[in-house]
Chain A
Amino acid sequence: MPHRLAAHLPRPAARRLRALLPAALLGAALTAAPGARADEAFVTSQPAEMLSIVDLPTRKVVATLPIPGKPAGIAVSPDGARAFVTSPDGKTLTIIDAAARKVLHRVDVGGGPLGVAVHPSGSPVYVADWYQHRIVAVDAASGAITGEVKVGDSPSGLAVTPDGRLLLSADRDSNQVSLIDTASLKRVATVAVGTRPFGVTIDAAGKRAYTANVVSNDVSVIDIPARKVVATVPVGDHPYVVALAQGRAFSTDQYASTVTVFDVTSFEKLAAIPVGDYPEGIAASRDGTLVYVANWETNTLGVIDAKTLKLLADIPVADGPRAFGAFIRRTGP
């Protein structure tokens, strides 16, 4: 049966085969395995100006999409329907239909759009402007700019609490995190953290946030309701951003070419896992068993077992992967 053959081939081969099949058979091939499509990684490659879409179970790039303007930041909507990509050189936000791999809007946000996060409801999308020290809110459906809020200097990483009430911004050159009330789009607090915080990550309970501090080589752990730092944990040289899985924090250490792992309760360091050179974006699988890391220099997406802390695989992707943000796309329930 042609569709069975296709199902057993690596995806690119299957795609080539499908291209040769009559339309009727193609339909049969696509309907043969309902719900079989698995989660994906949407990896921005800055110098290549490319989005690499990686099928996570097969660990293969199944699609690429050119994105101009040196794409860096990425946020996939919670339902997996949309992806939002920032291009700091192009000064744009690109809104993508994630399943169709199609660009829907290019929004001129000006300045230097870098960090990006989506509200848990799917809209708005928040874009950090690295140069004009503000966060711009963009309507996810229309691409219209609906508001902005001034924050500290060079905001980079953004994250929204799971209840949707607070937006956190790592204000890199002010060594602080800004807390913004999403309903009013007003800043309600700032919390001083380590030196040059770049990425900010919020846990599933919405209680704690973690900033990777590039210059002080540590991670600040923030108690969000208390609005204060409760721990500062040393990690490797030039940490970029943190992912959370299995009660552990995983920081990408750009200069050390490692992922440092520590326990989020005891803050004890568990490992420094050698990965590719210049690791940047990092994110956990939805079930928390795996952690994916984009290695900018090596052009790979590394796969780490979050329990054994072993590097399982390196998936080749387009040149200069950054994947700064929530880059794992849900494809099923």
Chain B
Amino acid sequence: MLYLVLAIIALAIAAFFVGQHRAMSIVDGAVSQLHSRPGQHGLFLALVSAGPALLALLAWGGFGPSIETALIKSQFAAELSELSIPQVEAFVRDARAIAFGGIVAFSDATKEAAAKAYQAVHSTGTIAVAILAVLIAITGFVFGYRRITAPFRARHIVERAVKWFLILCSLIAILTTLGIVLSLVFESIRFFQKVPVFSFLFGIHWSPQSAFEGAGAEASSVNALAFGAVPLFAGTFLITVLAMLVAAPIGLMSAIYLSDYASSRVRAVAKPMLEILAGVPTVVYGFFAALTVAPFFRRLGDGFGLDVASESALAAGIVMGIMIIPFVSSLSDDVINSVPQSLRDGSYALGATKSETIRRVILPAALPGIVSALMLAISRAIGETMIVVMAAGLAANLTINPLEAVTTVTVQIVTLLVGDQEFDSAKTLAAFALGLVLFCVTLAMNVAALRVVQKYREQYD
């Protein structure tokens, strides 16, 4: 199979040179008489000869094994009829293993026979496909070869193929979104059949553990009131606000300092430093938050006679803020730098100091960009998972006290899906519903950020 693919690729390369040569020889080396360049003729020939053949091989690669297996199963239907599904699977697997190598778990005469049949089917199939592929390739080659003439527009065909490929690639983004939406929506709908949307979005009591009347085996009816997600939203909001309280001023001020004040030496050190901060994986921040920052705040709180929960929103929020600093600063940096020098010069000419210029001229001019940067940072904070999984608690408290433990949407998604929950219950489905909410909220934030930039951005150039 591999050789066949390689052969066809070799054919494609050969076809390229043949096509090139053919095009040249048609016009006796007078390239200018060709409509398309010889290389394009070559590519055209390579495409028509190898493309369909490769597609055929691809199809066989995908469907071949199952076709083979189906054939074998029908051939041995009598022997297999009494076996259970895994035994049949084992039969097929062992037969394949005997036939094509691999670890054979258990062998017997029937399997040996099946393996023989497998080999036969496989070799027949492979030969058939090989012949088919070669035929297709040759037909394509001949067809293409005869098309090559001086006025033949090979370029258009090749370029159209390239363009279609490019379009296909950009459609993957749409497919991804579609995939996300569909996978979230289906499960969410099943959830909302059990729990009304209203009590999910506006309920203020989140305790999936008490969602079932009775415990363990008797668990049956769903108590919709236990799925009020407001405490989760509040917790997410609280942690996000704390993160932004850290990230927004520090990020913005660093951006300003680095773009307008810092000497190039400072910049050369500080910029990579911020980039390192941005590149640190979130699981590392989580480790840091849980083991260093949270105990630190706790001790600090004890010193002041304050009562800080070990899982305080404060620790998670601040570490998340640290994580977002570089995000804010690099985005703001771009925006501040894009304010034209002429505005700065004008302000200086009026006698304004640097800080006045920044505060009165540059920031207002850059405001839309900064706002959108902050919005993107917020949506980042909302969706952040590992820090809160490791450092924030699971207590669904409805509070605005940052010293208490709160929980977030992402934490609940992880615990609901990876925890010891009962399966197929509203709890598992709730994770998808929360995912949907998360997706919608971040989507809204991003669209809003985009709108802000589009609507208020001033074009200076």
A and B associate in one complex:
no
B contact residues vs A (CB 8 Å cutoff): none
